Amino acid sequence: RVFSSKSIDHGVPGVTSIGQSTTTPFAERSVSKAGGLPSCFSRRALVVVMFGMMLGYIVVPILLVETSMMTFHGVDDEAGWQPGRGITSNRLRLLQEKDNDAQIRLKNLMENQFLLSRQSLPTDRAPHVMETPVLSDHRRKKILVTGGAGFVGSHLVDKLMMEGHEVTVVDNLFTGQKKNVAHWFHHPNFNLVIHDVTEPIHMEVDEIYHLACPASPPHYQFNPVKTIKTSTMGTLNMLGLAKRVRAKILLTSTSEIYGDPQVHPQNEEYWGNVNPIGPRSCYDEGKRVAETMMYSYKNQNNVDIRIARIFNTFGPRMHPNDGRVVSNFIIQALQNKPLTVYGEGEQTRSFQYVSDLVDGLHALMNGNYDGPVNLGNPDEFTMKEFADYVRKLTKSGSEVRFLSKTQDDPSKRRPDISLAKRVLGWAPKVPVEEGLTKTIAYFQSVLDEAGEIIPTGPGASKPQN
């Protein structure tokens, strides 16, 4: 401490008596010569503080900014950058060149984006570029396609996209494949939703094409309970959606609702001959119930419905392990394996090319007729005739092997399409030979990629994706 008044002497060194004035060495260091202020506020200290503040808040930030600009633009002093003088003419030229390059890249990016928003990208499943027009908002529809990643669904998606509509595909990929629609993944009008239609889904749509359900006997027999749930609960969910958003809905039914027909050819008035407890009934009866649901919603809730009864269809993007006659015969013939015919080969089928079916579905959806309509090709073949036809087109040396007939296999199948001609103005255009030639080329490319494909037999089988 510092005592400026008289103090009492206690006989301790360094302590004075009363009346004497003294200070310790510490006190001397704590008192400034200039007016008694502490030494930390001396002139020298103030100068040091001010210099440090100027250095920290002014000089250093300026150097940092100039260095950052030199690093950002990638130009050093030799290229024209001079700290304290700003941008030289050489530096300005380099910056302008960089800006021009950036603008060119941006322009190219915008042009590419513009182009991609108006066409598909070529893939192995869709090698040809498909252009999409730009529609005004009041003309562009929001369309839902269930099962849109499958064989028929993916071709339908192509047609709708090429009309300029917004298309949403809902598919659980049991038999569908992403690569069937991969050529649209980049497009702003396309959306893929991995979803099972047996569960409800909510979205805003104008039209619903309800295709979801395995159609090949080996595939729909693999899980018959799930098959009938897809046809019933799936259709119920789609009808509920159509009712809520007031959308038009089209159900793809099947010629299988006619069962093993006693009327030939089959017209829409025929009620069918179906075994309700056989191995095919999960599909046949499921579609019959789905049709019943469609008309119940129409009559009770005024839902706008369409029903297509589809006969045998073939074409590119068929599943290699589909198990049906066209895919099996072609795969067997291309690998020079025996063509397997179940029974004596006298049962008949008629075959339509996939583009004809898509045109029929589109005409039905956009027409005014709301009754069931057959969509198929009346050209009829026995299985023996068709096997020989495929061997001829593939130039194969395969033999035809006859195996045991499968249960409930229909003996005849041929559509009467007079109604479709009258109310839709529709009839198949692609001859069977032309369609088979395209399909054979497709399966040859699949076979080249896979190396070997083992055809699916008549029994229940899970799709091999």
- Residues across the chain: 465
**209, 283, 297, 442: the active-site residue:** 283
CA distance 345 to 366: 39
DSSP characters for 145-200? Answer: EETTTSHHHHHHHHHHHHTT-EEEEEE--SS--GGGTGGGTT-TTEEEEE--TTS-
DSSP state of 39: G
- Measured in degrees and rounded to the nearest 5, phi and psi for residue 39 equal -65, -25
Position of tokens 């359900």?
Answer: 213
Token pair in block for residue 93: 């030229």
Instruction: Burial-class residue 416 by CB neighbours within 10 Å (0-12, 13-18, 19+).
Output: middle
- Give yes or no for a contact between 134 and 118, defined as CB atoms under 8 angstroms apart: yes
With left for phi above 0 and alpha for psi between -120 and 50, is residue 338 left, alpha or beta?
Answer: beta
How many Cβ atoms are within 10 Å of 409's Cβ, its own excluded? 14
Q: What CA–CA distance (Å, rounded) separates 77 from 70?
A: 8
Which residues are CB-contacts of 152 (< 8 A; sequence separation ≥ 6)?
A: 211, 252, 310, 313, 354, 357, 358
Classify the phi-psi angles of 405: left when phi > 0, otherwise alpha if psi is within -120 to 50, otherwise beta: beta
Q: Is 369 known to be catalytic?
A: no
Tokens of 361: 């579905």
DSSP state of 407: T
Can you read off the two tokens belonging to residue 396? 């194969």
CB-based contact 257:284 (threshold 8 Å): yes
Residues 6+ apart with CB under 8 A from 342: 383, 402, 403, 404, 405, 406, 409, 458
Which has the closest alpha carbon to 184: 214, 145, 211?
145
Q: Please identify every residue annotated as catalytic.
A: 283
